[in-house]
Amino acid sequence: MTKKSDWKKKKKQIMLDYNLSSEFYDQRYMEIQKEKYELILENLISNPKLNLKAGILLDAGCGTGLLHQYLMKSMKQKDFKNFHYIGMDISINMLTQFRLKLSKQNLDKKADLLLSDIEHLPIRNSVIDILFCITSLQNLPGIDKGISESFRTIKNGAIVNFSVLKKKFKISTFKEKIEKMMTDKIFLNIDGVEDIIYMGRASKE
């Protein structure tokens, strides 16, 4: 079996796993993910260099919309309305759950949802102002492709927020892969939090 076919097989399995878990995903992971969102938002708000008032926001690996839900509650509604939200996920069932939440709140027209994977984003070059990629990169067959594709879509100077499961990556390996591509960096490795978090501004020049 070739490397390419191995990657396709892994992606297919990831889609299947998330499709099967979509109905109980929130119950299992909401509090775990919320902990990460709180850390990220606290650092964005407290750091003037990472403060953004408006723009296009990409949630790469959005799942059932937990980040969207958190930002809606945590930010002033008028402030969140200044962002154009795009959610992308590889699982159709996860996106279906997300769409149901939006419909219940009459927010269908306030978010664009895309069925895709992080290695092949259907987004033009250099249009994203703020990127969230939370607990998603470790699911890819190759993290390098996911990082480069994410950076392709963001503007120079865009705010970037990555996290990966500690148990899936060596901390030094993760830092080496992205720190040369960012400025105003914040690195978070906190006991009790399952992810390492890397934040900053994209440096594409």
Task: Give the list of residues 6+ apart from residue 31 with CB closer than 8 angstroms, or none.
Answer: none
Closest CA to 197 of 159, 146, 162, 150: 162
**Residue 60: CB atoms within 10 Å:** 26
Q: Are strands 111-115 and 195-202 parallel, antiparallel or unpaired?
A: unpaired
What does the angle CA 13 – CA 171 – CA 146 come to, to the nearest 5 degrees?
40
The CATH number of the domain holding residue 15 is 3.40.50.150
Domain count, the chain: 1
Whole-prediction pTM: 0.92
| Local confidence pLDDT in tens for the 205 residues of the chain | 456 677 678 778 888 888 888 888 999 999 999 999 999 999 999 999 998 889 999 999 999 999 999 999 998 766 788 999 999 999 999 999 999 999 999 988 889 999 999 999 999 999 999 999 999 998 887 789 999 999 999 999 999 999 999 988 777 777 888 888 999 999 999 999 999 999 999 998 7
**Residues of the domain holding 149:** 3-202
